[in-house]
Structure 1
Amino acid sequence: MGAELYAGRMTAAAEGDVTVFLIGMRINRFRALGSWLPVFKAMPRMLRELSRDKGSGMLGYQLLFGPPRVIYVVQYWSSHEKLLAYSVAQDKEHRPAWAAFNRRMREGKGRVGFWHETYVVPAGAHESVYLNMPEFGLGKAAGVVPVGRRGDRAADRLSLKGA
C-alpha cells in the first residue's frame, strides 16, 4: 500500500534552526537529452551520498515535480554551514558534478535551466501540520509528533521565542 499514514494532526519534530535548500532544473528542450539527462542523473548520486553520511548535515529531502518540465528537490539541513561545506568539498560527489554541469551549461545554449534557493530558518520560525499523511517534507526529515505537543494552533508552534 505504501508509506504509513499518521492518523490525525501531526507536526514536524524538528527543533532548532533549519536550513531549507531548494534545487531544480527545467528541461527547456526535451529532445536535447545530452544537456539535461546527465544533470538529472547526478542528483540521485549526491542524495545517496548525503543520506549515507549521517554527519553530512542533510536531514532529509523530498523529490518533487513542478510546473511543466521542472524537477526539483527540497532538502532540509541542520545548518547552512554544513550545506556550504558539502558544496565545496573536494572529495564529495558535488564538485565533479558541478564542474560537468557548468561545462554543459556553456555548451547547451539554454537547453536546460537550473535554479536553487537557500533559506536559513531560525528556531521558532518554522511550523508544519500534516493531517492523515505519511511523513512528508520536514516531517519526513525530522520525524513527526502529535500537534498537541507543540501547540494546537500555528501561532503556538511559531513561537519565535528567540526573536
Structure 2
Amino acid sequence: MASMGSSRFSQAARSNRRLGIIIDNFTLSTWLCLAAGLYGTISYALPSAARALLVLPLAVLILRTSDALLIMSGLRHNRWMDGVIEGTVTAIPPDAQDDLASGGNNGNIVVFLVGARVNHPLGILAPGAKEFVDYFSSMARDLEKERQDFGMLGASSWLANKERSSDNDILLIYYFRTVAGVEKFAHSESHRKGWEWYTKWSKQYKHLALRHELYHVPAGHHENVFLNSHPTLVGATAWPLETSEKDGAGAWRSPLIAADKKALRTMWGRMGKNSQELRTRE
C-alpha cells in the first residue's frame, strides 16, 4: 500500500503557537475595547486623522468579503482546502501496513499529552510567565530536533476553547514509538533545566500550571480515520525508516494510507486481529 506522503517536522513545530497564545491571552471584548480606545484617543488628539483611520478597517472588511464571495463562486482557489486529503485515509505505522492488510496488527504507539496554563489576570504577562514559556518552548524545540533519538514521531498543538475564563491553555499532543523514548527525553538536559526552574519557582508562582498524561497503547487497541481532512494528530506524524547506505540517513514516511481496502473500512479492521479479543471482552 502506498504512503500518502511524508513530513519531516511535526505540526506543532510548524505552527506559530506564541502568536495564538498572545491573541487568545485576553477576551474578544478586551481586544475590541483596546482598539476602540486607541481609535478614540487618536481621533481626539488628531481629529483630521479620524476619517483616514476609519478607511483601513472598512477596506480590510471589503477585501475579505470579496475574497470569500470569489471563493464561493469558484472564481478563486479555495486555500482552506490546501493540504486536505480528499476521501478516507487512516494512519498506520509504515512497518505494520502490509501486515495489517493481511490480518496482522497495527503496531504499538505511545501518546504523551503535556499542557500548561497561566491562571493570572495578566496571562503571559504575569510574573514568571516569560521564563515559563521560554523553557517550555526550548524543550519542545530540542525534542523536535532530536526526535529520532527519542523516538518522537510528531506532535500537534491546541489552545483551549473557552474551558475557563483564562483562554491561554495550550496542549501539545506527542506521539512516540516507546515509553523508553519518553523517559529518555525526561532525563535530557533541556527537560532537566526546565523542570529544575519550575520546581524552584512553582511555590512562588502558583498561577503557573503544568500537567502531563501518558498512554501506552498496545497493538490492536487503537485506530483512527480521517475524512476529507488535512494531516493532523497522529496523521501528521512521520516515521523514520530503516535505510541502507544507498538510501542515506534521515528518511521519513507518513503513516497515512487510503482506507478503501476491505480490511481498513471498519473500526475493528483498522485495529487488527487483536481487536477480536477486545470485542469479546466488551
Structure with higher helix content: 2
Summarize the alignment of residues 132-147 of structure 1 with structure 2, pairs less than 5 Å apart. Answer: 132-142=228-238, 143=254, 144-147=256-259
Partner of 2:112: 21
Whether the 8 Å CA contact 1:62–1:137 is kept in 2: the answer is yes
Look up the SS of the partner of 2:264 in the other structure: coil
> Equivalents in 1 of 2:218, 2:273: separation in Å?
8
CA distance in 1, matches of 2:130, 2:108: 34
* Offset at residue 26 of structure 1 (A): 1.9
Please show how residues 147-162 of structure 1 align to structure 2 within 5 Å.
147-149=259-261, 151-159=264-272, 161=274
Higher strand share: 1
RMSD: 2.0
Matched, 1:55 2:149: yes
Which structure: larger Rg? 2
The amino acid that maps onto 2:210 is F
CA distance in 2, matches of 1:104, 1:130: 42
Pairs aligned (count):
160
Instruction: Write the letter of the residue equivalent to 1:146.
Output: A
> 2 CA distance for matches of 1:160 and 1:75?
26
Secondary structure (helix, strand or coil) at the match of 2:204 reads: helix
Q: What secondary structure is seen at the aligned counterpart in 1 of 2:186?
A: helix
Identity %: 23
Structure 2 unmatched runs, 5+: 1-78, 97-106, 239-253, 278-282
TM alignment of 1:2-151, pairs within 5 A: 4-14=83-93, 15=96, 16-31=107-122, 33-53=126-146, 54-66=148-160, 67=163, 68-89=167-188, 92-108=189-205, 110-142=206-238, 143=254, 144-149=256-261, 151=264
Can you give the 5+ residue segments of structure 1 that lack an aligned partner in the other structure? Answer: none
Task: Give the letter for the 2:264 counterpart.
Answer: G
Structure with bigger RCO (C-alpha 8 Å, 6+ apart): 1
TM-score when normalising by structure 1: 0.87
| TM-score, normalisation: structure 2 | 0.52
